[in-house]
Amino acid sequence: MDIMKKILVPVDFSEHSEYALHVAAIIAKQHNAGIVLLHMIGMSDSVLANSEIAEEAEAKYYLNLAKDKIKQYTEKEYLKGISLEAIIQNYKDFEEVNNVAEEKNCDLVVMGSHGTSGISELFVGSNTEKVVRTSNVPVIVIKKPHQDFTIKKMVMATDFANKSVSAYIKADTFAKLFNASLEVVYVNTTGANFIGYDIVDKRLKAFKKELGKDVNINFYSSPSVERGILKYCQEKNADLLVIPTHGRKGLAHFVVGSLAENVSNHAQMPVMTIKM
């Protein structure tokens, strides 16, 4: 991917989806890309199929409401000059977002999230997690408003799992698009889950061999992987955290599962997930 052509933005008309839309607009202007807005109504098939006057009126009401709201979104001042396409679908399953992204040849999905308590709660059990888990297109998750969105430093967390090389290559492609640096971090947990240097070194050599070039890997020790990733990003003043995902089998082991109690760092920074 030499250029970015289209960005898909799923919207539910919440403030968080507008945060995502604003960021998508900034990226679109930086790369002369278009934006595809997607809203999912989620009405039951029985309502849509029912010819009763009340149900038909209800279906029309929600469809017209969605049309009015999405029209208001397309008229945002920050979207001026951007090629826009608005889609309203009666999807109830957020896995459908991937289908739209592929049908419309989108290079990136940008969406908002209400999560506030760290990486795990950012994804697990949310609609965002469903999109992240099933999207073949990289997803950037936005959690707060950004007046500016300049990516200068990207950090990719890896556990050297199978196919993590493909995730690195995609991350490196985006880093070049954003004119950003890309750092790779491996977090080794202290305590009972500590992995010996010999094992880690073996994984690292296999990673570099498959990649076909030498890449500097930063090692960071922390009581938990989640906390280590966030703390490393904080210390390095990263603008974007990249996390590889394992597709339908769920996210990488350092994303799925409960966080240690009282995680002190919050993933307020943007997170890009890339399917391996």
Separation of alpha carbons 140 and 177, rounded Å: 14
172 in the same domain as 92:
no
Instruction: Centre a 10 Å sphere on the Cβ of residue 124 and count the other Cβ atoms it contains.
Output: 18
| CA 45 to chain CA centroid, nearest Å | 29
Q: 13: pLDDT confidence band, cut at 50, 70 and 90?
A: confident
By residue range, what is the domain housing residue 173?
145-276
> Residues 6 or more apart from 252 whose CB is under 8 A from it?
159, 161, 243, 244, 245, 246
The CATH number given to whatever domain includes residue 36 is 3.40.50.620
pLDDT tens for each residue of 14-60: 888 999 999 999 999 999 999 999 988 765 555 555 556 666 677 67
Nearest alpha carbon to residue 115 among 151, 145, 133, 142 = 142
pTM, two decimals, is: 0.86
pLDDT for the residue 38:
93
- Tell me whether residue 250 is in a domain: yes
Higher pLDDT, 273 or 196: 273
41 in the same domain as 150:
no
Region for 250 from its dihedrals, namely left if φ exceeds 0, alpha if ψ lies in -120 to 50, beta otherwise: left
pLDDT tens for each residue of 132-185: 878 899 999 998 899 889 999 999 988 887 778 999 999 999 999 999 999 999
- Tell me whether residue 138 is in a domain: no
pLDDT tens for each residue of 183-241: 999 888 876 566 777 777 888 888 888 888 888 889 898 887 888 888 899 999 999 99
174 in the same domain as 48:
no
101 in the same domain as 197:
no
- Tell me whether residue 134 is in a domain: no
165 in the same domain as 108:
no
273 in the same domain as 160:
yes
Domain count within the chain = 2
Burial classification of residue 89, based on how many CB atoms lie within 10 Å of its CB (0-12 exposed, 13-18 middle, 19 or more buried): middle
